[in-house]
Amino acid sequence: MSAILLIAIPLLAAFLSIMLKKFAPYLLLGVGVFNVVLLFLIPEGFVILGGFNQPLGINLLLDTYSKIALMLVNAVVVVIAFVNIKEYSKFSSILLIAIAGLNGLILTNDLFNLYVFLEISAIAAYLISTSNKKPVKTFHYIIIGAVGSSLFLFGVVILYAMFGTLNMVDLIQKIQLTNNYSQLILPFLLMFIGLGVEVKLLPFNSWVKGVLGESNTLSGPMIASAYAAAFGFVLGRLITNLFLFEGSLLTVVTVILAVGIVMGDLMAFASNKAREILLYSSVAQAAIVAMLFVNGIVIWAVYLIVANALSKLVMFLVVNKAVKDVGSDEVNKLQGLFSKNVIVGLAFTLVTLSVMGLPLLVGFTLKLRYLTELASLNQIWLIAVILVASLIEGIYFVKLLLKLWYEGQEKVEVKYNVTFKVVFVIIAIALLTFGTYSTPLNNLDDSIDTITEVVNNG
C-alpha cells in the first residue's frame, strides 16, 4: 500500500466513471471511503516514484501534517458527495478529478508537480462552479485562477533557475546555505500571490463573491470547505518550510493579511445576503490561518483549518439548501428558517458560535490558544486586529442567527432530508466535544514537524 494510490485510484475511477455513467456517484463514494480507510493503513514517509531517488524524480511526502489534511479533505468530499448524490450525480467524474488533484497537491514534494496538481484541482473547481449556472462568474474565476497559477509557476521557475532543483527538501537545504535573501523575495512573492488567489486572500480573491455568492449545495461546500482546507494546508506547508518572510517582506505580508482579516469581517457585516456573509467570513478566516502560519503557530493553524472546513461545510449546506428552496439569499427572506427546523437550527447555531469563538466550543479553545501564542511572540497589535475582527464577526453572526430563528411575516418552508441532518448533528457534536475535551488536540502538538525535521528524524 502506497500513498500514490490516493492519487491514482481517483484518477482511474474518474476515467471509469465516464464509461460507467450510472455507477459514477457510487464510484465516487467508494473511492472517497477507500481513501479515508487507506490513510489509516499506509505508513508515513517519502514515496519514491519510478525508482528515482531524491532530488531526482518526483516524490511524495506523507507525514502527520499531510495525513491530517488528506483525512479532512477526503472525508469532507465524501460527505458533500453523499448529500448531493441525487441532484448533482453528473458532477461525480469532476469530483473524482478534484479528489486526485487535492490529494496530489497535499502529498507532492516537488514544486512543478505542485503546480500541475494546482491546475488539475483548479480546473475541477472551475467545472464545479459551472453548477451555479452563472457562466460570467465562472469565466472570471477561470481568468483570475489562470493568472494566479501562472504567477505561481513564474515563481517556481525563478527558484529553479537560481537553485537548479524543484525538489522541496533539496531546495530547502540549498536555500538554507544561501545568504542572499534579497534575491528570493520575488519568487516567494509570486508564489504567495499565486496561492493567495486560491486561498481567497485579500486582495487576490475577487472571484470569491461571484462563485460562492451564487453557490449551491455542491459548489459552496466544495470550494469553501474542501478546497479552502487543501489550499490552506499547502500554503501552510510552503510558508513554514520554504518561504523566508523577513524584514520588509514580512511587514508587507503581515499588513496584507491583517487588512484581509478586518476587511473580510467588515464586508460580511455590511452584507444582507446569507451566502455573502458566509463567504466574507471565510475570507477573514483564511487570512487568520495564513497569519498564524506566517508567525510559526502551525498546530493551531492546522486545527483552525479543520474547524473552519467542518463549520463552513455545515453553514454552506444549511444556507444553500434554504436559498434553493426559498429562491432568495436575502437574510430577511430567510427569516424564521429554523423555527420549523429545530435540529438544523441548533446544529447551525453551535457551529456559528464555534466560529465566533464562544466557550465550550472548539473555536474558543483554538482562539484562546493562538492568541496566547501570539502574545508570547509579542504580536500585540495582531491580537488587537483579531479581537476587533472577532467583535465584528460576533455582531453579524448574532444578527444572522436572530433573523434565522425568529419568524417574520412570511412563512419559510425548507425541508432538510435525514442525510443533511445527520451530517449537521455529527459535526456540531464534534465541535462541542473537542471544545470541552481538548486533550487529543494537545497530544498531536508535537507530532507535526517541518519537512527538515521529518528528513532529520528519518
Which residues lie near other proteins (CB under 8 A)? 112, 115-116, 119, 123, 126-127, 130, 135-136, 138-139, 142-143, 146-147, 150, 153-154, 157, 160-161, 166
CB contact at 8 A, 365 and 435:
yes
Q: Which of 77, 55, 408, 10 is nearest to 228 (CA)?
A: 77
The CA distance from 91 to 457, in Å, is 42
- For residue 420, the tally of other CB atoms under 10 A from its CB is 21
Helix or strand run (H / E) with residue 45: strand 45-48
CA 260 to chain centre: 16
> To the nearest whole angstrom, how small is the minimum distance from the Cβ of residue 88 to other proteins?
17
> To the nearest whole angstrom, how small is the minimum distance from the Cβ of residue 130 to other proteins?
7
Identity of the residue, 165 or 354, whose beta carbon is nearer to other proteins in the bound complex: 165
Identity of the residue, 116 or 414, whose beta carbon is nearer to other proteins in the bound complex: 116
Residue 248 burial class via C-beta count within 10 angstroms: exposed 0-12, middle 13-18, buried 19 and up: exposed
Identity of the residue, 155 or 232, whose beta carbon is nearer to other proteins in the bound complex: 155
Cα end-to-end span (Å), the chain: 20
Identity of the residue, 134 or 369, whose beta carbon is nearer to other proteins in the bound complex: 134
Q: What is the largest CA-CA distance in the chain?
A: 68
C-alpha cell read off for 197: 488567489
Identity of the residue, 188 or 424, whose beta carbon is nearer to other proteins in the bound complex: 188
Identity of the residue, 116 or 360, whose beta carbon is nearer to other proteins in the bound complex: 116
> To the nearest whole angstrom, how small is the minimum distance from the Cβ of residue 131 to other proteins?
12
Identity of the residue, 99 or 123, whose beta carbon is nearer to other proteins in the bound complex: 123
Helix or strand run (H / E) with residue 147: helix 135-163
Rounded to 10 degrees, the C-alpha dihedral 181/183/188/190 comes to 160
The CA distance from 229 to 285, in Å, is 11
The CA distance from 239 to 294, in Å, is 6
The CA distance from 416 to 132, in Å, is 20
Identity of the residue, 115 or 192, whose beta carbon is nearer to other proteins in the bound complex: 115
Identity of the residue, 41 or 136, whose beta carbon is nearer to other proteins in the bound complex: 136
Identity of the residue, 197 or 356, whose beta carbon is nearer to other proteins in the bound complex: 197
> Which residue shows C-alpha cell 463514494?
29
The CA distance from 367 to 386, in Å, is 9
Residue 51 burial class via C-beta count within 10 angstroms: exposed 0-12, middle 13-18, buried 19 and up: exposed
Q: Which of 369, 377, 68, 95 is nearest to 237 (CA)?
A: 68
Write phi, then psi, for 157 (nearest 5 degrees). -65, -40
> To the nearest whole angstrom, how small is the minimum distance from the Cβ of residue 377 to other proteins?
37
